[in-house]
Amino acid sequence: MSLSDPGYLLEIEREKLKCSDVVFSIGARRRIATQHSKEQQEAKVLEQHSTFSILGHYETLVKKTYPTDPPYLPKNLFSREDAWQITKNYTSVSNGAFLREILGGQTIPGLFETITTGINSWLHSNSYKQHQADLEDIQISIDQEFLDTELIEKEHEEESRLKAVARDLKAQGIADRKRLRTEKASQALKLKEQKQADKNKQIVHFTSTSG
């Protein structure tokens, strides 16, 4: 075997591609999982703070509008899902935009104003400050996890490189031993042929002198 042998070189390239695919697969899965985790955590933080705030203001509006018996169940006019959709778009809604697109219209008089008031009130509250702090903590955690993933990938790449070097050295050793065996066999054959030639000369010489 030679290091320049096409079959050997092809095998090395296959191994490198296999290793790089493994590294990419590991990194891609971790990044996707990390992003999904971030979205889940952010959603949880928002739901804990803003959604409850919006629903609280809505309940106050319902009690004010219908002090005794409301004609409809409050959750049928404005549900937790509606509040969550608004929560996810709170930056746009706080400026008065997209409310009609999300809800389709006011199911109870003063609903839009109540929602924007509730969001703006939340944006200036300690709850919102806590929300921002929670998001910063999440981002720090995500960044650290990303750095850890990068480090693992680099370690894996280095391990793959060292394995490739070890394979190269092993292949070189095998090639060297094979070359030495071939050289020794060639030398032994030459020596054998030389001995046979000398023997043949002696026979010819003996035959000619004895005749």
Tell me the backbone φ, ψ of residue 150, rounded to 5 degrees: -60, -40
The pLDDT of 171-186, averaged and rounded, is 84
What is the pTM (predicted TM-score) of this model? Answer: 0.41
CA distance 203 to 200: 5
**pLDDT tens, residue by residue, 22-81:** 444 545 555 555 555 555 555 554 555 556 677 888 888 888 888 887 777 777 888 888
The per-residue pLDDT for range 80-121, each reduced to its tens digit, is 888 888 877 777 776 666 788 778 777 788 888 888 887 887
Mean pLDDT of 171-192: 85
Task: Record the tokens describing residue 153, joined without a space.
Answer: 């990938």
Residue 178 pLDDT > 80, yes or no? yes
For a pLDDT cut of 70, what percent of the chain falls above it?
Answer: 70
